[in-house]
């Protein structure tokens, strides 16, 4: 219902239009979560370092990546001509800022466990701060183009964060394997919020630009970059894991984990590609808001954040 308005406003002569599912809409708010990492083991998927490190790559990419989302979106706010969308983007920004902070907190813990991520994260920082940063561009067209390009890239990346979020919420195999509960809560709280706000990045892109060619082009860039960074991150972790002799990342392990259900299946990943490239694609057609909301209602981190909402400050000791 509400998502509809700002999409109808854009000029698009093509017959095929993104078709949002109104019932999947939910207002957004950031949650002031906090995680305690001291009890989380290095291989938090017990006995499965390959899967652990495949998911750990999130901690390498997300702190810098989601900080970059916020940085870009702050600049887009003045271009938004729809109050509902503006409210969604403002909620989105806060959620992303908390995701970035929450994953960042894992990094010092990895370092304590003997797996220093800094060589890798310093490069990710470079990627988002420099390569994808503001660059010295003349005001006007060039600057606008670069902003829109980044907005479109974020929409493409958000397609995958929502995909992963929906997957992790339903990945019962992770529970059966006895994964560390704190890490699972981080992933599922994050995943649930990604599902909650999965339409915002796409709606924003449609609102401020909406060009199909840009959508397809930036999807290709984002997908290639994700694959490149992910395999590189897994290799980095496997090689530097202090408990593994000759740790190697392998495609076979990835396929095996997919079959076991502790990672997404390769087929599901493949199917997400044509989904995004379809002209009628809208993020609300995928994933389940209900599943996300249900998790947030029992997530220890989200519940603690709720409890914190009463203003809390005490001097001397009152």
Partner 1 sequence: MARVPLPRPRTVIVVAAAALLVKRAMGRRVQQSPLWPMPALEDPISGRGRSGLGGATLRLLVTERQEAAEGVVQLRLTGSELPPWQPGAHLDLVLPSGTIRQFSLCGDPADSGSYTIATRLIAGGRGGSREVHEQVHEGEEIEVRGPRNRFPLVDAPAYVFIAGGIGITPILPMLRAAEEAGTPWRLLYGGRSLASMPFVAEVEKLGGPEKVTLVPEDERGLPDLAGALADAPDDAAVYCCGPDGLMDAVAELYAAGAPGGGLHMERFAPGGNRHRTGVNGAFEVELRRTGATVDVGPETSVLAAIREQALPDLAYSCAQGFCGTCLQRVIAGDIDHRDELLTDAERDDQMLICVSRVYGDKLVLDL
* Cα–Cα distance list, 76 to 73, 90, 150, 156, 283 (Å): 5, 11, 10, 17, 20
Minimum distance of partner 1 from residue 23's CB (angstroms): 25
One DSSP character per residue, 30-79 reads --------TT--SSSSTT-HHHHHHHHHHHHHHHHHHHHHHHHHHHHGGG
Minimum distance of partner 1 from residue 129's CB (angstroms): 6
- CA dist 55 and 187 (Å) reads 9
Query: Does 108 interact with partner 1 (rule: CB under 8 A)?
Result: yes
Minimum distance of partner 1 from residue 262's CB (angstroms): 25
Query: Does 248 interact with partner 1 (rule: CB under 8 A)?
Result: no
* Cα–Cα distance list, 48 to 170, 173, 267 (Å): 19, 13, 22
Query: Does 93 interact with partner 1 (rule: CB under 8 A)?
Result: yes
Q: Which is nearer to partner 1, 40 or 199 (CB)?
A: 40
Over the window 4 to 43, marking each residue x when it contacts partner 1 by CB under 8 A and - when it does not, the resulting string is: -------------------------xx-x-x-xxx-----
Query: Does 118 interact with partner 1 (rule: CB under 8 A)?
Result: yes
Applying CB under 8 A, the site for partner 1 has a residue count of 60
Query: Does 140 interact with partner 1 (rule: CB under 8 A)?
Result: no
**Residue 81 burial class via C-beta count within 10 angstroms: exposed 0-12, middle 13-18, buried 19 and up:** exposed
- 3-state secondary structure at position 249: coil
In the list 124, 171, 187, 257, the residue contacting partner 1 (rule: CB under 8 A) is 124
Q: Which is nearer to partner 1, 207 or 214 (CB)?
A: 207
In the list 1, 47, 119, 213, the residue contacting partner 1 (rule: CB under 8 A) is 119
Of 268, 258, 267, 276, whose CA–CA distance to 222 is shortest? 276
- CA dist 106 and 55 (Å) reads 12
Minimum distance of partner 1 from residue 56's CB (angstroms): 13
Per-residue tokens: 208: 């401020």
Q: Which is nearer to partner 1, 13 or 38 (CB)?
A: 38
Minimum distance of partner 1 from residue 232's CB (angstroms): 8
Query: Does 216 interact with partner 1 (rule: CB under 8 A)?
Result: no
Q: Which is nearer to partner 1, 4 or 298 (CB)?
A: 298
- CA dist 155 and 216 (Å) reads 11
- CA dist 89 and 84 (Å) reads 9
Q: Which is nearer to partner 1, 182 or 272 (CB)?
A: 182
Query: Does 44 interact with partner 1 (rule: CB under 8 A)?
Result: no
Query: Does 139 interact with partner 1 (rule: CB under 8 A)?
Result: no
Query: Does 120 interact with partner 1 (rule: CB under 8 A)?
Result: yes
Contact between residue 197 and residue 91 where contact means Cβ atoms under 8 Å apart: yes
Of 105, 109, 70, 107, whose CA–CA distance to 301 is shortest? 105
Site for partner 1 in 48-87 (CB under 8 A): 60, 63-64, 67, 70, 73-74, 77-78
- CA dist 66 and 102 (Å) reads 11
- CA dist 65 and 63 (Å) reads 6
Residues at the interface with partner 1 (CB under 8 A): 29-30, 32, 34, 36-38, 60, 63-64, 67, 70, 73-74, 77-78, 90-91, 93-95, 97-98, 101, 104-105, 107-108, 111, 117-127, 129-130, 232, 235-236, 239, 303-304, 307-318
């Amino acid at each position: 219902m509400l998502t509809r308005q700002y999409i109808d406003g854009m000029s698009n002569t093509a017959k095929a239009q993104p078709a949002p599912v109104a019932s999947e809409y939910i207002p957004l708010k950031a949650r002031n979560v906090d995680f305690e990492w001291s009890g989380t083991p290095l291989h938090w998927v017990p006995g499965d370092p390959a899967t652990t490190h495949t998911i750990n790559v999130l901690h390498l990419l997300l702190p810098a990546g989601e900080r970059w989302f916020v940085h870009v979106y702050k600049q887009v706010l003045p271009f938004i001509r729809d109050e509902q969308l503006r409210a969604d983007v403002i909620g989105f920004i806060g959620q992303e800022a908390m995701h970035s902070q929450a994953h960042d907190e894992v990094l010092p813990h990895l370092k304590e466990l003997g797996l220093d991520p800094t060589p890798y994260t310093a490069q990710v920082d470079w990627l988002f701060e420099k390569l994808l940063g503001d660059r010295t561009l003349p005001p006007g067209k060039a600057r606008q183009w670069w902003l829109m390009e980044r907005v479109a890239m974020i929409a493409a990346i958000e397609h995958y964060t929502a995909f992963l979020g929906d997957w992790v919420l339903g990945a019962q195999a992770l529970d059966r394997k006895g994964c560390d509960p704190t890490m699972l809560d981080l992933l599922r709280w994050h995943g649930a919020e990604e599902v909650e706000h999965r339409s915002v990045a796409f709606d924003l892109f449609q609102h401020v630009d909406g060009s199909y060619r840009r959508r397809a082009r930036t999807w290709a860039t984002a997908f290639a970059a994700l694959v490149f960074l992910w395999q590189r991150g897994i290799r980095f972790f496997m090689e530097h894991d202090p408990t593994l002799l000759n740790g190697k990342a392998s495609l076979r392990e990835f396929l095996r984990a997919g079959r076991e259900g502790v990672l997404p299946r390769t087929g599901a990943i493949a199917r997400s590609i044509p989904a995004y490239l379809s002209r009628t694609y809208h993020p609300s057609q995928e994933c389940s808001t209900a599943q996300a909301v249900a998790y947030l209602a029992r997530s220890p981190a989200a519940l603690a954040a709720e409890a914190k909402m009463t203003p809390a400050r005490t001097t001397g000791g009152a």
